[in-house]
């Protein structure tokens, strides 16, 4: 019997007690007169999370993948040209969806460990004088490689190229954990899901689109039904849904938004950065490298750690689970066996991540890695507390 298992995958993430309790309630009538008292404030508060005044939020009973599909099929036409870069499993899957939905998909293949190639995108867009590219797609946080891209920079590049394409962002593993600014960055569609930064079980696709995307929606002939914006908007405006919403998850969403606002969004981002930095200190102490090729791409929600050639990351992950009751993320696709991932997003703490680092260290050593037990933990401790605070006090 294990009393506690460690969940350190980059989603689903830990669900805080307050959120769990908020979902422990009898089922309710989603057509009752007081249901909008729950739902209308949810829509308003999601706009705060996305940092938008004019965006239109949607909540689907789905996962993030459904959110991708909702944004694309509601605003584009079959055969439309879209621009996307692939640098990890999630950007790859989004590009694959574009192809399968019948878009003319311009794919810029990047090395896994790099981010959105902002300059290349600029050049492609600048050359597209006829503005045939309808949408630019960017994964803000590539969960497979632990790479965060510069969405503000991408917006600047699009503006510099004078290109009117829609900008769609996958924020599934960044929204609510890493800063995202829909209005300021001119994002036309942002996709998220419940089981990462929102600290909920899987089951909601949480998205938001701009007025420009809603304008494009009017001329979009894509066949759609379950994900139809118009059906949603017709009912959402009064606080209802065109079909049964995931009422329990909506109650949980209320609780998770309350927690996020109580802490303050900026503090949530700072906590993620602080916790992630401690993990990066540990990795550095082991002498290991991140999959993310440059510090500017370091993700504050997930670290993908490259293991030496003589170590099989699949075995390390398996051993961590069997021996220490800890789940780490695996290397996806071509990274299988080469990396393991530590998720550090959502309801995390210094103490939890110290445990994760300790378990990773023991598992690595058990699997033959030549690192010193305690080295990563000490580096992490030094960042989180102890000497770092002493030094900060001395410097002050
Ligand atoms: C998890 C994730 C997805 C997929 O979301 P699902 O909820 O599994 O459908 C998409 N993009 C990114 C960046 C993710 O981390």
- Ligand 1 test: best mutation among 12, 61, 63, most atoms within 8 Å of CB? 63
Q: Nearest residue CA, atom 2 of ligand 1? A: 172
Binned at pLDDT 50, 70 and 90, residue 273 comes out as: very high
The CA 378 to ligand 1 mean position distance, Å, reads 33
The predicted model gives 298-316 an average pLDDT of 98
What spacing in Å lies between the alpha carbon of 45 and ligand 1's midpoint?
22
Q: What values do phi and psi take at 253, rounded to 5?
A: -60, -40
Q: Residue 247 — φ and ψ, nearest 5°?
A: -55, -40
* Per-residue pLDDT band at 390 (split at 50, 70, 90): low
Q: What is the DSSP string of 91-160?
A: HHHHHHHHHHTT-EEEEEE--BTB---HHHHHHHHHH-TT--EEEEEEESEETTTTEE--HHHHHHHHHH
Please give all residues whose beta carbon lies within 6 A of any atom in ligand 1, as ranges: 11, 63-65, 90, 139, 141, 143, 170, 172-173, 193, 202
- Domains in the chain, ordered, with CATH? 6-10+264-395 (3.90.1150.10), 17-262 (3.40.640.10)
Q: What is the mean pLDDT of residues 305-313?
A: 97
DSSP 266-291: HHHHHHHHHHHHHHHHHHHHHT-EES
How many Å lie between the centroid of ligand 1 and the Cα of residue 172? 5
Residue 95 has pLDDT above 80, yes or no: yes
Work out the percent of the chain whose per-residue pLDDT is above 70. Answer: 97
Given the CA of residue 144, which atom of ligand 1 is nearest to it? 15
Q: Calculate how far, in angstroms, residue 205's C-alpha sits from the geometric centre of ligand 1.
A: 10
pTM of the model as a whole: 0.97
What is the predicted pLDDT for the residue at 5?
A: 80
């Amino acid at each position: 019997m294990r009393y506690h298992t460690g969940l350190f995958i980059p989603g689903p993430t830990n669900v805080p007690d307050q959120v769990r309790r908020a979902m422990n309630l009898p089922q309710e009538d989603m057509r009752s007169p007081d249901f909008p008292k729950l739902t209308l404030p949810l829509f308003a508060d999601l706009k705060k999370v996305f940092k938008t005044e004019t965006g239109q939020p949607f909540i689907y009973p789905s996962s993030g993948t459904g959110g991708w599909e909702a944004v694309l099929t509601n605003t584009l036409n079959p055969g439309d040209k879209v621009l996307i870069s692939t640098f990890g499993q999630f950007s790859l899957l989004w590009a694959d969806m574009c192809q399968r939905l019948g878009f003319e998909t311009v794919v810029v293949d990047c090395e896994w460990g790099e981010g959105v190639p902002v300059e290349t995108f600029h050049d492609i867009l600048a050359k597209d004088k006829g503005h045939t590219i309808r949408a630019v797609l960017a994964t803000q946080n590539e969960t497979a490689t632990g790479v965060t891209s510069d969405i503000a920079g991408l917006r600047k590049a699009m503006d510099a190229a004078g290109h009117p394409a829609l900008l769609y962002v996958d924020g599934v593993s960044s929204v609510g954990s890493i800063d995202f600014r829909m209005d300021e960055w001119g994002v036309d569609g942002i996709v998220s899901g419940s089981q990462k930064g929102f600290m909920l079980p899987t089951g909601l696709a949480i998205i938001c689109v701009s007025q420009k995307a809603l304008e494009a929606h009017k001329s979009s002939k894509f066949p759609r039904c379950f994900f139809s914006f118009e059906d949603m908007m017709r009912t959402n405006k009064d606080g209802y849904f065109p079909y049964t919403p995931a009422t329990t998850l909506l109650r949980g969403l209320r609780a998770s938004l309350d927690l996020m606002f109580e802490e303050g969004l900026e503090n949530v981002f700072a906590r993620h950065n602080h916790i992630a930095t401690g993990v990066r200190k540990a990795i550095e102490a082991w002498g290991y490298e991140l999959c993310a090729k440059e510090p500017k791409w370091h993700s504050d929600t997930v670290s993908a750690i490259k293991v030496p050639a003589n170590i099989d990351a699949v075995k390390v992950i398996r051993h961590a689970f069997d021996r220490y009751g800890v789940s780490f993320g695996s290397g996806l696709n071509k990274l299988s066996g080469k990396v393991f991932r530590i998720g550090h997003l959502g309801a995390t703490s210094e103490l939890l991540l110290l445990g994760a680092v300790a378990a990773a260290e023991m598992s690595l050593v058990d699997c033959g890695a030549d690192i010193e037990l305690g080295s990563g933990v000490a580096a992490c401790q030094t960042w989180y507390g102890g000497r770092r605070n002493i030094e900060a006090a001395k410097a002050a």
